[in-house]
Structure formats: C-alpha cells, structure tokens
Chains A and B, each alone.
Chain A
Amino acid sequence: MNPGKEEHAASAGGLGFAMPEEAERFAHVLRLFREGKLGEDDFRRFRLQHGIYSERFQTDFGLLRVKLPAGVITPEQLELLADLAEVFSIGSLHLTTRQNIQLHWLLFEDVPEILRRLAEAGLTTREACGNTVRNVTCCPLAGCCPHEAFDVTPYALATARYLLRNPMNQDLPRKFKINFSGCGRWCSLAPLNDVGLVAEEREDGGRRVKGFRVYVGGGLGPASYVGGLLEDFTPEDRLLETVASVIRVFDRLGDRVKMHKNRMRYLVKEMGFQKFKELVLRERRIVQVTQPANFRLSLPQASSPLKEVEESFNPAQGVKDEAYLRWFTTNVTAQKQKGYYAVYLSTPAGDMLAQQVRAVAEVARNHSEERLVRVTPLQGLVFRWIPGRNVPEVYWKLKEAGLASPGALSVASVVGCTGTASCNLAITNSHRVAKEVRKKFLELGLDMDGDLKNLAVKLSGCPNSCGHHAIGAVGLVGSTQRIEGILTPAYLMLLGGKTGLDARIGKPFMRVPAKKLPEVLVRLFELYKAEKAEGEDFHNWIDRVLRGGGASVIKNAEDLRRELEKAAKLPSPREDPKAYMDWGSEEKFVAKTARGECAA
C-alpha cells in the first residue's frame, strides 16, 4: 500500500475515502459499454458498484450517490458538491436517509469527470449502491450526545474503511447495511440494519472496556424485521471480526436467486435466529485464526475539540424574536459538553439548492469548532460544536439562505424518498407529498406542539422502504386505490412503527388518497390530542385504540378509521379531476414502474 496515494484529502481529518483511478476505470468501462463490447447487465453492475443509478425510465441519465461514512462532510467537500450540482446537475443536492448525498440527472458521460473532481476532495461513490456494504451510518450527534455511552464515530469510520473495496464485500447476495448507535434510546436505528452496533461500556477487572451490543438480521423493505441480539457485549477489539463474520456467513449462505428474498434477514428468518447466531460465532473463530496481522481496529483520531467552554451563554435568553425562538426550540439542542450546541437543519425531503449548500459550508467553517457537518437519517443536516454565543449568528446566516425553517426536531421533519421524481420502482410521488405534508405541518405550527415532539412521519413511494415508512410513528407507502372507478394515487398508512431498541414495524391501517394525505395526518394528530389521557404519548394512545380500549369518541380502530375517512373523502371527479392525480402531475394517474435498481 502506498499511503500517500491511497489516503486522499488527509486534511479532511481521516475522511478521505477516494481512489482517483476509479474515475479512469469508469471512463474505460463506459466506453466499452457504448461501443457494444460490454453488455447492459455488466455495465449496470459496474455502475452500481460505483454509486450510479439510472433515473426513472431513463437510459442516459443517472444519479450519483456520494458515500459519506458516518454522514460526515467538510465545508470544502460541500462546496465542491454545490459546484458539481450547478455544473452537471439540476442545481440541487439530495440528502438521503443513509446519510449520503446525491446528484441527480447526470449523463453517464459526465461521471468520469465528476469522479475525478470528487476524488481530489477525498470523496467516493464506491459501493454506495449495488450488492455491497452500503454507507456505514451512525448517530449524527455522536460525540456530543448527552445519552451516549461513548463516541461511535471513530468505530463507524474504521469499519467503513476496513470494508470499502474489501474483496469480501464486492459481490454479496444483496446489499448490506451497518449502523452504529451511541445508545439504545428511541432514535437508535441499530436493530433495523443487517448489523447494528449499540455502544456500551463495561467494567472488566477494574478496567473500563468499550464495546457493543450487536444486533443482526434487521432491515426495512417489502417485509421489514427488527434484528435479534447476537451478543450483549462484544468488546471493541472484536468489532471488525464480528462484522466480517456476519458478512461471510451471509455471503456463503444468502440467497442469490430469488431477487425478493436475498437480504440477510430472510436467511436469518429461514434458518432460525439461534442457528444463524451459532454459525456466525463459529465463523468468528475461523476469522480469528486466519486473520492477517494487519487486521486491527485502527481508530482515526477524533477531530473534535472535546473541551468545555467556561462561560455559559443561553442563546434564547432575552430574545424576543418569535421566529428565532421557534427555530431555537425546535432545531437546537445542548451538547453534553457544557456551553456547546448542536444546530439541526431540516430540509424539504432532503433537497437543497447549490447556493444553500454553500451557505451551510460557510456556517460550518465560521461557527462550528469542528468545522464539519453531518447528514442525518432524517434527510437533514446538523452543525455541532457551536458555542452558545454563536447560535443567533448561525440563525441569521441560515435565514439569509432560506434554511432557517423550524421543526427539524419535530413532527414537521417529514422524510420522503425520491419516489417518482427519480426512482424506477416508485408508484407515487412520495417526494413531493412529503414536502406538502411538511409545509402543512409548519403552517399549522405542529412543530411547536410538545405532544408531537419525537413523532416521525415517514413516506416511501413503494414497499421498498427507502423512506423508512415501516418505522415511522405514522408510515406511508405509495400505492393505489380505485375511487369512483378511477385509479388514484394513494398511500397505505401504517401505525405503531417505532425506532430504538424496542423498535417495532408499523401495521397497515388504511388507505388514503395522495391529495388528502396532509389533511388526514393533521386530523389524526388532532384526534390524538383530543383523546389522549394525561401525559400519554402517541404510541401508547395508538396501541390503546387498536386494542379497542379508547375513550370517548375514538374507542377502537373502526372509530379511528371512520373519522379519518371523513378527512380522506375526495370531491367528485367532476368537481375536481385533479384530486385524482398525483402531486406535481397534470396527467391522469397511471401506476408504472420499471426494473428496480433500488435507490433511496
């Protein structure tokens, strides 16, 4: 290995994951394909391996997914992406639920040049798609969260680095997802990944040992599962070999034939969790005795300032500006380090204009003491290490760029996959409707409602679940409904979904026509507010109603459905033909899909 060459952009604090040769290789393979020397399928496999999907129903246009391990990105990298978006794309960037950033509507022909420029900045698209280990995600607040056992960022980065371009990870039966969480509270996504690692510290012979609770076999999709516990404590020095063992078992035994059953969770299900666990632990012994000498966890240095500020400054004290206070309450949290704040930024379903991305880079550079930004699984961003006295300034800067909308840490932080705006598999325009729902919630001020605080509304355009609908407090999945004899875009509403270690998959409840979705959701929350017992959270209320134990008006599921159906009622097609079309469309709705490449 040639360290100088391999490690690009070392200035990014060990965040360089690029390999410039890959741009040249892409150019070469694209040429072979265009000259007819390489088949369609081979080219598809190759481009997916390099982070390139095709756009919905397009043969020449694609999207490019920049893989950001742990969701971390530098201001310089953001500026580059903004430039690329303006030059090669439609002037916007898309943040994904796996903490990646995408550029849409590129020509495949543009890709080599883009990869070259990305590589110079240390960015890669390698294994962002395809049957590989996808982006290793972690808590966006890792290192700063008051609840975490310890900062999982270095472990996420080390795992990502170990697996990236690793031969073991080039041709798996299907994609493979890894998440690190700092603790098991409600926001943890660990049990919803193929491998989920939850930080824990233990006492061992008077020594504090760092390690993880390891969950395996979880995942979201047409059938979603919550993972099972592989080990309740895996010490950090066995992290990589444990992850590798799971991957090896999956690689060997996973289904490579039935497209719809080849995620690892089906394998686990089929053979039974106990048997799978035994296989993995046995595999680990083999990995241990055969591992090369350099197979060690090498943790990148934490770049965080890791100090506390002396002065304590309350960024809300004495401020009268209501817009600011609303933003502060719903977008800013105190870090565990006294005097520092984390400032969240919510986006309409993950989209940002190039100009706005430049403003984000500026803010990170000038106001965050770690000079970094993280992408969140809610398709937003977070600036960390903002000293309290800088918070108002950050607000004004974001406001100038149209980025200070409130509600990032509220029910208004609505997640929506790209849907028919980009994805071959989409049935509905889940992307646009997510924006409509968010807009409605913000107009009504639902973001300020404490009862709705940690509720997530999540939308996917089809059952593949890229919008994480299965774990939304309210999940919505694109579908159709025949109303008045007309095929109408609709959403299947799921209730009861939950993240955290007690994660739960939502259960189908009812269908709602797309155009009525914002109203129906608002009505649902109204009913909850009116009917809940003192201090009862939404999850408990839903459980109670579904069990038939509701009070006054809404006694059971039937009552709830009946009430919501009132809000879901469409005007007649004569009165309003558009009510039967999808959001953002002026045409009669048709449910059309093409071969999936599985985009998020």
Chain B
Amino acid sequence: MSGKTGYPHPLVGAEWLSARLEDPGVKVVDARDAEDFRRGHVKGAVSLPLQRILEDEQPERVAALLGKLGVEDETLVVTYDDRGGTHASRLAWALERAGHFKVAVLEVEFRSWADRGLPVSLKKPLEETKMHSVRENIHIVATGEEIREKAGSPHMVLVDVRSRLDYLDGHLKGAKTMPWKMFAGRGKVLAGREEMERLIDEHFISRDKEIITYSSDGASAALVFYAFRLAGFQKVKLYPGSWKDLMSAGLQVERLKEAHYRDLLGDISLE
C-alpha cells in the first residue's frame, strides 16, 4: 500500500477492494448523498456524505464522526463517489487532515463498480462506535494567507484545476492551468502513475516543487492533490475552499485583456 512518496498509495483498485470487503481492517466509506447510498452501495460500506464533512471540518468533529462509523486509527479507509473521484478525494483529504493517515480513494466510480457486478448492498450497515484519536495534520492545508505569502516564489507552483474557460475568465496570479479532467484515466478516476508523471513532466513541474491546488468547489482540487502525490510529489497542499472563498480572501487575480475567446462559444442567442 505504500507508494514511493512514503504516503500510502492514494488509490485502490476495484478487484483489490472486492477481495477485502470482509476485512475488519478495511472500512469503505461512501461519499455520495445519503439518498444515493440508500439506493445501493458497495457491500459493507458506511455513509459519510461529503456535504456533512464540509459543514464543519474541525479535526475533532471529523475524528468523532469517524469513530461513530467504526473507524479506528489503524483502519484503512477507502472512499468512493460518483463524481469522477472528486468528492471521494475531498473526503479522503479531510480524513488525512484530521490525522487519519491510512486512507485511499477507490479507483472507479460507484457506477462502474456496480456495472462490473461487484458486491452491492441495500442494507443499512451496523455501525459500532469506536474511538478515534485526533492528530491534526496541517501540512496538507493551504490557506489564503499562505498563498499570498508564497506568491511568486520559485519553489511553489499554484495549480488551478478549474476548466480552461474559468481560468481564462480570471485566475490567481501566477497559477498554472491544469483542468482536473485531464488527470482522469480510462474508466478510472485517475490515470496510472506513469501517465500522471508524464503529464506533469510535460507541463514542466519538477518534483522538488511545493504544489498548491485550488478549484471552484475545493473537491476537484483534492483529486488533483492525489494526482500529484501519485506522481511522486512530497509537498502537496490543497486549498480546501471554493473559488468564491479565494476571492473573498482578496487574492490577486489575473485576467486576459482584449481576448474574445467567449465569442468562440457557439450560438449568441444562447447567451
């Protein structure tokens, strides 16, 4: 499970997981809405909609939530979603931040898990409360303040994972544009390690850089957070807020001047 970064490998395969559904050391956590969960989920999974975490991400609260779901400090948590892995990643990141280090994202969306005929259940799982300790991990969190301070530093790369159009409309000064969908694999939430390394190399970002990712919702940036980890980066941080939050943090925004790219967007009567 351990990648060359010293972090656990951020992804687990569907086959790998399906063989461990009974393993008491593994807990599958469904990041989708409670309603989706009720309609069917990975057998043995517990529900923790991302939305619930986002209400309040204090490590104490997250640790308590984990405990309630029967997750102990040493349990391997595997998260999944139906949002291209963005919600599962964001959830995984929140757990890491609260000090739950052993966490991974399922390589496929729930849809494709079910399509492959892997075990699915409708039953509400038994939840047995366990104790979970709190060890806040601040090394993976980037704040607006920090982004401002490090702006322009040659050691840090700010990665804007929103769509190209959003980027052109305005982005943080100095940010690189790498829309999150470019990291997806075929039928997988992330491409393989080699492809990821190649993609990042081709954008000329070297391994020694500190990476800060941001997105419009904070979730897709979490997927890219794991993409960089997978490619072997050691210092990767997520700005967990939204683009709106970034704007209210008063950070410097760059725009293209006199660029009429919006006129390339189809029918004007659709505007």
List A residues at the B interface (Cβ < 8 Å). 27, 30-31, 34, 55-58, 86-92, 94, 104-107, 109-110, 112-113, 347-348, 351-353, 356, 402, 405, 418-422, 429, 431-432, 435-436, 439, 583-585, 587, 592
B268 is an interface residue with CB less than 8 A from chain A: yes
The reply to whether A587 and B270 form a contact with Cβ atoms under 8 Å apart is no
**Chain A residues whose C-beta falls within 8 Å of the C-beta of B199 in the assembled complex:** 113
- Please provide the 3 A-B residue pairs with the shortest distance between their CB atoms, ordered closest to farther: A421-B263, A421-B260, A87-B181
Q: Does B164 contact A (CB under 8 A)?
A: yes
Write out the residue numbers on chain B whose beta carbons fall within 8 Å of the beta carbon of A58. Answer: 256, 259
Question: Are A91 and B177 neighbours in the complex by a CB distance under 8 Å?
Answer: no
Say yes or no for B168: interface residue by CB 8 A criterion. yes
Interface of A: prevailing SS? mixed
From B260, which residue of chain A is reached at the shortest CB distance? A421
In angstroms, Cα B265 to Cα A348, docked, is 9
A92-B265, A421-B261 known; 11 new pairs, CB 8 Å cut-off, are A34-B204, A86-B163, A87-B182, A90-B163, A90-B168, A104-B264, A105-B168, A352-B266, A402-B270, A421-B263, A584-B260
- Select from chain B the residue with minimum beta-carbon distance to A56: B259
Closest CB in chain B relative to A352 CB, distance in Å: 6
17 contacts between A and B (CB under 8 A): A87-B182, A87-B184, A89-B164, A90-B163, A91-B164, A91-B165, A92-B264, A107-B177, A109-B202, A113-B198, A113-B202, A420-B258, A420-B260, A432-B260, A584-B262, A585-B258, A592-B258
- Given known contacts A88-B164, A113-B199, is B264 in contact with A435 (CB within 8 Å)? no
Please state if A348 and B202 are interface contacts (CB–CB under 8 Å). no
Is the pair B168, A435 in contact by a Cβ cutoff of 8 Å? no
**Smallest CB–CB gap between A58 and chain B, Å?**
8
Q: Which residues of B contact A (CB under 8 A)?
A: 163-165, 168, 177, 179, 181-182, 184, 198-199, 202-204, 256, 258-270
* Chain A residues with CB below 8 A from B164, complex form: 88-91, 105-106
Contact (Cβ within 8 A) A27 B202: yes
Q: How far is the CA of A9 from the CA of B127 in the complex (A)?
A: 52
Q: Which residues of B contact A55 (CB under 8 A)?
A: 259, 261
A421–B269 touching, CB < 8 Å: no
Instruction: Compute how far the CA of A91 lies from the CA of B266 in the bound complex, rounded to whole angstroms.
Output: 10
List of A residues within 8 angstroms of B165 by Cβ: 90-91
Closest to A90 in B: B165
CB neighbours (8 Å) of B259 from chain A are 55-58
B266 touches A431 (CB 8 A): no
CB distance from B267 to the nearest CB of A (A): 5
Q: Which residues of the partner chain B approach A94 to less than 8 Å between Cβ atoms?
A: 264
Q: Which of B179, B263, B270 has the most CB of A within 10 A?
A: B263
Contact (A432, B263) CB under 8 Å given A88-B182, A107-B177: yes
How far, in whole Å, are A420 and B258 apart by their CA atoms in the complex?
Answer: 9
CB atoms of A104 and B261 under 8 A apart: yes
Q: Which of B203, B269, B270 contacts A109 (CB 8 A)?
A: B203
In the bound assembly, the distance between CA atoms of A288 and B53 in angstroms comes to 76
CB distance from A491 to the nearest CB of B (A): 16
**Bound-complex Cα distance A30 to B202 (A):** 9
Cα distance A55–B181 in the bound complex, in angstroms: 22
Whether the Cβ atoms of A439 and B265 lie closer than 8 Å is no
User: If the complex has contacts A90-B168, A439-B268, are A585 and B179 also in contact, measured as CB distance less than 8 A?
Assistant: no
Chain A minimum-CB-distance residue to B179: A87
